Structure 1
Amino acid sequence: MIKIDSQRLINISDYYYQEIHSTVIDKYSRAALGNNPFTGNDLRLWFVNSTGQLDMRFLKTLLTGTIDEIIKTNIEIEYYLKTCKFLHYSSEQVDAKLTGMKKVTNRIAIRQAYVAKFSNPWLDKYTKAPGNLSFFSSNKNYNKLVREVKADMLDLNVLLAQMIDYEYISKELRHELLHRIGIEVCPYCNRQYITSYIDHSEKKSTADLDHYYPNSRFKLFSLSLHNFVPACQICNSRFKLAKGIEILDPYRDGFDRDTYFEVGLNPASNSDSLIGGNTFFNIELHQMHTGNRADQLEGNIRLFQLENVYQSHKEYVRELLYKQYVYKDAYKKDLTALFDNMQLTEQEIHLFLYGHALQDDKLGDRPLSKLAYDIITRT
């Protein structure tokens, strides 16, 4: 929901590399990587330079670069990412669109469009195989295609796990990373503090270090710094898990103004509902985008159950509405004079009134900042 400044990761990239790269080098030296099941080529070719030695520049990019930077190092890594995405999102995206759809022609088109979205030579090897040429014609044929691709991806990820696996990060390093990244509010829900603290000289955190691309399915990126998202345990362990729902990458995008909270009236509502007199209303979450970004926005809302869990904050919204009503009307003159005497900035006034500065670039600083921002600025 809330965009994270990727500079936070850049600032700690050298530290992280120094802490983890020797472990990866040691695992690589012991690994029996074998051949890539998708191409038959020696998998070590991904990791070596022209002299046949482990490519340290590539290793640093893999550990500390963005996902885009990583896939630019080798076209086969781009194929890997696309094929992993095809498998990860397959059931959620295809099944969701097929639900309730009766026309066979539309169902065929959906399967074809989904596969085309992730088309690459690895995937083409299966879609163009004689036994899969009609993969789009039925769920049975489509699921057969998915199973075949999945079997080889599982084998490939087992090979990669010999040198790249989240298990190689110690508990101490995980907590250190959470301290250094410095995120204090869960970016997925904007509801929970994720607190870092010291316990008997040991750094600890209430946060989980989530993988945007799940460790179990995108093994190559399981130690990539830009794949780590500090998150509350509810979002990570209760909602997200490894569900194949496409969501926003918080280092790239947030909800911003494409998605907004709004007070929605229901049959029990009355005039007092709009001025903080009661909680006879619903908290609605709307998104105004189209295309792939719309799918990701809807994915966030659905995966983290945002519209449902935010209903528990009606009393908080009622207080915001009441404060806004009072400031605009009965006490506006007196409050304005008070603020002038105190020489407060607009942001300080908002903090005084609502507990939030109402700055769209500060929504990650406090829980419920996005909710407060939308309710106050859009009402």
Structure 2
Amino acid sequence: MIYLGEIPKEILDKHWEYFENSIGYKKIEEYKNQNILPSKQRALFRIISNHELLKKIIIGKPSEIRELIDQYNEVVINKGIIISNEVFSFYKDFIVTGGWNSIWLKINREAWLSHKKNIKARMIYLDKRFSSMEMLYGLGKNDRLNIGVLKSRFNNINNNISSNLESWNDLLKSIFDYSKFIEINDNWNAYKYTTDLGITVCPYCNRNYIHTLETDSGRTRAELDHFYPKSLYPFLSISIYNLIPSCHICNSNLKGSKNFFEEQHMHPFENLNQSKITFKLHYTDLKIETVIPNTNQFEIDFDFSPSLKNSEMTMINNSLKTFKTKELYNNHKDIAQELIYKAYYYNRTKIEELQSILGDNSGIDENFIERIVYGNYIHENNFGKRPLAKFTGEIISNLEN
């Protein structure tokens, strides 16, 4: 992964102005006064209408987005604004224990341990554990508490939650309208965003170009990955730091809908640790008899800075795993082999000899070394300009050392 830097202020200003003039912005006022909505939801829209909070949602930095998600999970989900506390507590048990079958086995075992072979006492115990569910879903005290009934109860809970969340998410999606943002008929949209950012290589893999092109006969742009999925956090659907320009392989084939809040990953707009992990060659065969090893005699691997914190290592490892970085880059061993060749035959000493022979006007400078000898950018501030630049620069640096 490569660090993209902070988004320029002029882009942030355009994005905020776009939202402030949008239909979605006007709907906040409508929803907070709409009597057909539950009072708790109307109260939440009154909170959302706060100007500073809205600016955090739309153009807040990654650290601010994480704070918003924490607040959303606590206030909207856990406090029963969308789902009653009672139902949600059962739902959490349901998820954590692996489903209705696991819950039945667990509670049935608890009942057996508590009451041994006293069948009547076991059934009373089970009835107590599920009494509030009986009230919620109208199951009588004399209903036989078997696996079929239990499955039915949890299906009811799941449907209840899905229905409530879906209607709530629809309201948020109508405010933070991603489908409108990706249309092409506005002054500011996804195409303008990716054009102004000027990012031409996928930051997740640094392997694929993601140019934006608009013509009368067709157009193309980078896919916009929702770093934190809009299906779970619809209020972040058009948050600018949640829209990561990326290639189809990384966004759709590898990441999909994975929740990067629950399983933290490196963020391309956050300079926490990208420079603390570098590519290296790991030689698997110690009996290399030639200057240039065969591709089966080494692997592409990584060096990790000893200054990395445990939390940073977790993010790095999650990112490497999700985007299959090691596996994919080991398809480029022929390029690494070529870099070894160039580093050997065009080392610094030989470049300096050429300079002394041909003179200062020969054009043999750092740019010559990068573009002609190595065929890529090799300095960190240029890694985002061309595919495999980070890989090339770090492999060359290790070879020179």
The normalised TM-score by structure 2 is 0.68
Q: 1:128 to 1:177 in 2, by over 3 A?
A: closer
One-letter amino acid of the structure 1 residue matched with residue 283 of structure 2: L
Contact 1:317 1:375 in 2 (8 A): yes
Q: SS at the partner of 2:346?
A: helix
Q: 1:83 to 1:331 in 2, by over 3 A?
A: farther
Structure 2 unaligned runs (5+)?
107-153
What residue number does 1:104 align with?
none
Residues 1:308 and 2:327 aligned together: yes
Contact 2:191 2:221 in 1 (8 A): no
Residues 1:248 and 2:266 aligned together: yes
Residues 1:168 and 2:180 aligned together: yes
Alignment partners' CA distance in 2, 1:28 and 1:131:
30
Contact 1:20 1:169 in 2 (8 A): no
One-letter amino acid of the structure 2 residue matched with residue 165 of structure 1: D
Contact 2:3 2:270 in 1 (8 A): yes
Structure 1 unaligned runs (5+)?
49-54, 88-119
Q: 1:44 to 1:339 in 2, by over 3 A?
A: farther
One-letter amino acid of the structure 2 residue matched with residue 197 of structure 1: L
What residue number does 2:131 align with?
none
Residues 1:216 and 2:231 aligned together: yes
One-letter amino acid of the structure 1 residue matched with residue 178 of structure 2: Y
User: 1:15 Cα deviation (Å)?
Assistant: 2.0
Residues 1:182 and 2:198 aligned together: yes
User: 1:215 Cα deviation (Å)?
Assistant: 1.2
Contact 2:204 2:323 in 1 (8 A): yes
The normalised TM-score by structure 1 is 0.72
Residues 1:320 and 2:323 aligned together: no
User: 1:7 Cα deviation (Å)?
Assistant: 3.1
Residues 1:257 and 2:263 aligned together: no
Q: SS at the partner of 2:267?
A: coil
**Greater Cα offset, 329-338 or 276-285:** 329-338
Residues 1:80 and 2:72 aligned together: yes
Q: SS at the partner of 1:186?
A: coil
Equivalence map 1:354-373=2 (5 Å): 354-373=374-393
Equivalence map 1:1-379=2 (5 Å): 1-8=1-8, 10-21=9-20, 22-28=22-28, 31=31, 34-35=37-38, 42-48=43-49, 55-69=50-64, 78-80=70-72, 140=102, 156-172=168-184, 173-200=189-216, 204-244=219-259, 245-253=263-271, 256-267=274-285, 270-272=288-290, 275-280=291-296, 281-288=298-305, 289-328=308-347, 331-332=350-351, 334-337=353-356, 338=358, 340-342=360-362, 344-379=364-399
**Greater Cα offset, 311-320 or 354-363:** 354-363
For 1:149-207, what per-residue CA distance to the aligned partner results, in whole angstroms no more than 9, with x for missing partners? 975655543442232232221332211211111101100000011112232287x3341
Alignment partners' CA distance in 2, 1:126 and 1:326:
71
Alignment partners' CA distance in 1, 2:60 and 2:397:
37
One-letter amino acid of the structure 2 residue matched with residue 162 of structure 1: S
Aligned pair count? Answer: 328
One-letter amino acid of the structure 2 residue matched with residue 34 of structure 1: L
User: 1:136 Cα deviation (Å)?
Assistant: 7.5
Q: SS at the partner of 1:364?
A: helix
One-letter amino acid of the structure 1 residue matched with residue 369 of structure 2: I
Alignment partners' CA distance in 2, 1:63 and 1:334:
55
User: 1:242 Cα deviation (Å)?
Assistant: 0.7
Alignment partners' CA distance in 2, 1:242 and 1:185:
22
Q: 1:269 to 1:252 in 2, by over 3 A?
A: farther
User: 1:137 Cα deviation (Å)?
Assistant: 8.1
Q: 1:191 to 1:285 in 2, by over 3 A?
A: same
Contact 2:280 2:300 in 1 (8 A): yes
Alignment partners' CA distance in 2, 1:191 and 1:162:
35
Q: SS at the partner of 1:282?
A: strand
Alignment partners' CA distance in 2, 1:360 and 1:316:
19
User: 1:283 Cα deviation (Å)?
Assistant: 1.2
Alignment partners' CA distance in 2, 1:40 and 1:198:
41
One-letter amino acid of the structure 1 residue matched with residue 45 of structure 2: R
For 1:201-221, what per-residue CA distance to the aligned partner results, in whole angstroms no more than 9, with x for missing partners? 87x334101111111111111
Bigger radius of gyration = 2
Contact 1:186 1:193 in 2 (8 A): yes
Q: Calculate percent identity across the aligned residue pairs.
A: 25
One-letter amino acid of the structure 2 residue matched with residue 260 of structure 1: T
Contact 1:178 1:205 in 2 (8 A): no
Q: 1:363 to 1:130 in 2, by over 3 A?
A: closer
Q: SS at the partner of 2:25?
A: helix
Q: SS at the partner of 1:283?
A: strand
User: 1:324 Cα deviation (Å)?
Assistant: 0.2
Q: SS at the partner of 1:5?
A: coil
